[in-house]
Every structure is written in structure tokens, then in C-alpha cells.
Structure 1
Amino acid sequence: MTGIYKDVMGALVRVLAADNIDNSTKQSWQKLIDAELRLGGQGAGISVRDKFDYDCCLYALLHRELAPAQWDVLVAKYSTHKANKVGAIGRLVPRIASPAPQIFIYKAVTAWAIPRLRGVQDRKRSTDMIVLPVEFYDMNAWDPAASPERTRHRWRSGIYQRLEFLEEAAVIHATELFDREEIFIDAA
């Protein structure tokens, strides 16, 4: 198989979106890839359907080969499938060790996986994604015991560091799997 993806993050986003793609409508990034293929760009010898099938195969490979926590952190951060994203967030919460209360951990993990998007309130962005209310990101509401602000910041920082460490390990493992499959355009 010749390489059909340009980079790791692009491949991850495309592969994790495979479970949310129906063949009747195209997302804007898909249209750009499809146009590149029609114009004889990189990977032009691969049909759109074959590329989608390959995305699905890589999705299955990642799901099978990554540790469950690695899979969940990637799905929570990059998936466009709402139910899968929410499920992955729910499975990550008990994996995060922190002295913070459980509700704080849940909200911190959710805010990390679904960052606040600017432009959503004034309709400049698509709403076909999970959009949390602005109030959700108010860390004061995450702790019913009203711990000091410094403590809450320390908790959130620790939770985010754990998630980012897990994400980094997952991306490294996914990169190794992708390299083994020789999916990148410059590979071969």
C-alpha cells in the first residue's frame, strides 16, 4: 500500500472520524481531500471509497492495538462521534488519580477533551459538535467544598498533565503502528 496520509495528526483525526462519516454528505475536510484526489494529488490512485475503507481498517487497528486508556484519550480528544467521545470521557475519569473530588475530575476531563470554542455563541462555528455551555468551564462550580483557588488550579493542572502524558503516549504508539503500516506519503 502506498502512503495516503500526510502526517500523524491528520491521519488520527481522519481515522477517528471514520465512525462518524456517512457517504451521503461530506465534511469540508473530506471535500478537500476528495478534490485533491480528483486533481491527481498525492494518493490519486486510490478511490474515495477505498480511502474510507482504509480509514476504517486503521480505526480497527488502533482500537485493537492501543491500550484501552490510550484509545479512550484519543477518542475523547479527537473523535467527532458524539456518543463515542462522551463514552471515552466517562471511561477516562476513573483512570485519573487526583486528590480532587470526583465531580471536579469529571468536569476537568470533560473540559480538557471538549475545550471551549470561540465563535460558537455568535454562530461563527458549526454546531454539529459537542458544545458545552460557557458556565461549564467555570472552575468555581467544579468543587462543591469550595476549596481555595490555588488548590483547584493545582488539581486541574495535575489532571491535565496526566491526560496530556496519556495522549502523548497514545500518539507515539499510534505513530509506531502507522509507520509499520507505511501509511504516510513520504514512507516507502
Structure 2
Amino acid sequence: MTYRNVVSAVVRALAAETINSAGGCDFEPKVQCAKQKGEIVGKEAAFLVDCMVFSRLRKGLAPAHWLALLAQYSTHTQRKHDAIVTIAKGIKSPAPERFRHAAVVTWAMPKLPGQEGKRSTNVLPSGWYCMDNWVDEPTAERTQYRWKSAICKELKAMVDGALAEAQAILDAEELISDIAA
């Protein structure tokens, strides 16, 4: 199995963790069952590759890059939350800590058009997206936008670096398709 691009590989690998009801990349029972029938093919083979990519990325990426991918793409709520908290603590900004944390949270879980928490996606209450709620003391709107812009730029650079590193890992494993779809 090969992936179309690095983002689809990362998304599938991170989603593999939450596919089964037990949580985690629990592929061994599926593999054992498939071995009894013969060759591992179809969904079981794809799931096995997704789990392998998860493991390979987890071990091969720098910790900061791994956290950036978890915060941006993970569907595992607790891992995403832990990554957000860790990243928010490491962001360099003159903004107060609460502002930095809220900026990272809203970057990792952006407001989706038409979403009011009625679907199964992670949607924050609308108050989270109002920057005036991110500071205790009144701060000029331009200053808040400058802080948020700088934080988002740093976060985008982290994800871009992580995707470049993941691309190198997946290219070495020959898991990215050369054929454009």
C-alpha cells in the first residue's frame, strides 16, 4: 500500500489509533485472524500499514514535530489535548500564558463553517474563538492579532518541518506514490 501524499499518510496513521474499540494500534488480533485465512489483504493490510507508519513516525520524528502533528491531525482526544498543552508551554511570545494556550487550542481545533457542536467533530464553544476572552486585561485588538499571527506562524512552521521530516521517513520506506492522482 502506498499513500498519495505525506498528509494523507499522517492522517491515516494517526486515525488508526482510534479505529478499534480498544484504542491504540491493536493490529495483532486482526493479523492473526487474517493469517488463518491466508495472505493479509484488503482493509486488514491497509490497517497494518497505517499502524506501522504510526510507529515509524512516532519513533522517527523529533519530539516537537511529533507533538505538532498530534495537535494538528490527531483524532485521539487525550493525545491531542496533551500535545496542545505541551506546545503552548513552549511557544515563545510576549502574549500572556492564557492567550498562548487559547491560540494553540483554536489553531489545533479551528472553527468550522456552520458548526455549532451538532456533529461528531471536535468543536469548541464559540467563546473560545473570541480573542478578547484570551486576556484578563484589556489589550489592543491589533496587538492581539499580532500575537495570534506570530503564534500561528510558529505553529505552521512546526507542522511544515514535521511534514518534511515525515516525508523523508515515508520516502525511505517507499510509501509515497509517485503517480499523481
> Do they fold alike, i.e. is TM over 0.5?
yes
Matched, 1:133 2:128: no
User: What does 1:72-83 correspond to in 2, within 5 Å?
Assistant: 72-83=67-78
Matched, 1:170 2:165: no
Matched, 1:96 2:91: yes
Aligned to 1:38: none
Q: Secondary structure at the match of 2:4?
A: coil
Matched, 1:11 2:9: yes
Any idea what the Cα deviations from partners look like across 1:128-182, whole Å, max 9, x if unmatched? Answer: x321001110001101111111111111011001000111000000000010000
* Alpha carbons 2:109, 2:122 under 8 Å: kept: yes
Q: 1:104 to 1:23 in 2, by over 3 A?
A: closer
User: What does 1:121-160 correspond to in 2, within 5 Å?
Assistant: 121=116, 123=118, 126-127=119-120, 129-160=121-152
Aligned to 2:103: 108
Aligned to 2:36: none
Aligned to 1:161: 153
Matched, 1:56 2:51: yes
Match of 2:18 among 17, 20, 31: 20
Q: Secondary structure at the match of 2:20?
A: coil
Q: How large is the Cα RMSD of the aligned pairs?
A: 1.8
Q: 2-side partners of 1:73 and 1:122: how far apart?
A: 24
Structure 1: 5+ residue runs without aligned partners? 25-44
- Per the normalisation by structure 1, the TM-score is 0.81
Q: 1-side partners of 2:117 and 2:67: how far apart?
A: 31
Higher relative contact order (CA closer than 8 Å, sequence separation 6+): 1
**Paired positions, count:** 162
Any idea what the Cα deviations from partners look like across 1:21-43, whole Å, max 9, x if unmatched? Answer: 1179xxxxxxxxxxxxxxxxxxx
Q: Secondary structure at the match of 1:20?
A: coil
* Alpha carbons 2:96, 2:135 under 8 Å: kept: yes
Q: 1:122 to 1:141 in 2, by over 3 A?
A: closer
* Alpha carbons 2:14, 2:74 under 8 Å: kept: yes
- Per the normalisation by structure 2, the TM-score is 0.84
* Alpha carbons 2:116, 2:123 under 8 Å: kept: no
Match of 2:115 among 87, 111, 120: 120
Identity %: 37
Structure 2: 5+ residue runs without aligned partners? 23-39
Q: 1-side partners of 2:10 and 2:56: how far apart?
A: 12
Amino acid of the residue matched to residue 79 of structure 2?
N
Q: 1:23 to 1:132 in 2, by over 3 A?
A: closer
